[in-house]
A and B are shown apart, each in its own frame.
Chain A
Amino acid sequence: MTVIKNKPEVLAPAGNLEKLKMAIRYGADAVYIGGQAYGLRSRAGNFSYEEMAEGVAFAHARGAKVFVAANMVTHEGDAGGADAFFKTLQSIGIDAVIISDPAMITICAQAAPGLAIHLSTQASATNYKTLEFWKSLGLERVVLAREVGIEEIREMRRHTDIEIEAFVHGAMCIAYSGRCTLSNHMVNRDANRGGCAQSCRWKYDLFDMDEGEARSHIQDGEPFSMSAVDLAMLRHLPDMIDAGVNSLKIEGRMKSIHYVSTVANVYRNAVDAYCEDPEHFRFDPAWEEEIWKVAQRDLSTGFYYGVPGEKEQLFGKPRKIPKYTFAAQVLDYNPETHLATLEQRNHFGVGEEVEFYGPGFVHFKQTVRDLWNEDGEPIDRAPNPMMTVTMTVDAPVEPYFLMRKK
């Protein structure tokens, strides 16, 4: 039996400290976060230095890494203070920074020598010479452009040994990242400095100018749009791993705990299953079922097997995806009484069908049979956010197991 020893890393997004911890508990080898400045997700919950330090301590105690995205494309004046920022990150113990702007790379290399630099996907690295160039400057890793195919990754791997990170899951820019300023031109929000208004997902008229008169080419009332469906390489992880990808990246610093824990859990389990015994690997349909519980759009393989066609864009009526809601988090469990103590995150009640899941791809469904409030009084529903309740569970759970409902 061949075991894959150089297992690629599962890299998950973490919009805040709680998500960071959850992503790691649910199997992420590394997480990427944003600082208070220089990132591209100005509206994602970003980390203070104190929170970063706590996140790093938590991650390192579990053998996981923390990367900080500082991938803004700076204008005059934006890079002020970046030297102190990088120095602080290094002293906190951040494992790497993700940068796209060469001015920021220069500042980081000078201010914090030894702090690993990963080239952000914003720089659209699409060929092996580009990878070699960044390697020659001392970068440790390149995050590939989303426009690169599996065959191209294989060829890159034959030409260079720099670490390759590639997206495997989540929402995608429809443009080459960094090469889209629709948002700048349409609403004065700089896409490359964290202001992207997602103008590509708007609906447009499409017309020609016939002797000065606009003639619409809109067909059957279907507006023109450029909205990409999401990426999911779950079914093709063996291809990604065999091509030599070192880090499998999940998109979504704005995504919920429910999303991050579920996706990390699935990819962790699938990557482990393949690497433990690639020859006898069988795809488990339960992984895909699980992924659909948090999917927000239709899913596709992006550019990995060819240039995406019309099916990989959102046209017509959106696919109906059953919505699951994050209902509670397990705080405690008593194996003798089979009672679980839960913290409510969304209302639920007796008689409802719920599902528990936990790290290691554990999950089971059950009906809520009973419910007690903090004072031990029986109740029908758990209506209040963050209230503590107790219920009988059909299978063992542990703290940080999560409960969802349809």
Chain B
Amino acid sequence: MSQQTIINAQGLDLTFQTNDGPVHALKDVNLEINKGDFVSFIGPSGCGKTTFLRCMAGLETPTAGTLTVNGMTPEEARKARAYGYVFQAAGLYPWRTIGGNIRLPLEIMGFSKGDQAARVERVLELVDLAGFENKFPWQLSGGMQQRASIARALAFDADILLMDEPFGALDEIVRDHLNEQLLQLWARTEKTIGFVTHSIPEAVYLSTKIVVMSPRPGRITDVIESPLPKERPLDIRDSAEFIEIAHRVRDGLRAGHLDG
């Protein structure tokens, strides 16, 4: 199987100009993400993991270095609607039903009415929310709302899914359940996923590649290729392999803190 590079960052640098002076958010970041990878970005707050994800989405512009998404600049990729983005909060429009919320990107991108209906039904099925199309967001739990927001990001079939701490606000049990579902979804859709988190077990459980970052300035301190199989039941988290990777991530985080 030939490895196709989807996202390629070389010597990426980003400095924000703030009222308190410049903030060095990303420093010399180099990373390649291949097609079908599930890549987690983990690190303490201020390490630039969300900023890096936003750069890939073309929501922030790096001050130096090159970054390509599908061989294009992130700006071009954004305009080509190359990715779906899931935010920390579900951010569903309260005045639209779940179906209406999922239709939002489809309406904006000009899909036909019939196509819209078919896609809404398919992605609702995918996130296990079939039958909730005509419910309003307030009628759903937090976990269900976040699933609906994932369905919204999947609806227009972008090959890349960028997720910024999507389960950060949910409790442990719901989170485990959604992690399991996300893996199944990834296996079925073969998407390339970029996933920001600050939970070590979550990163290890989900990823094929774990990118450990540290703050001031935001930089990559370790990239771990996970040896875990693609098929991962929840109890894999008790295996020796899993614990070993988690250990390496923790060490990486600690090292970043010491020399930071």
- Asked if chains A and B come from one complex, the reply is no
A residues touching B (Cβ–Cβ < 8 Å)? none
B residues touching A (Cβ–Cβ < 8 Å)? none
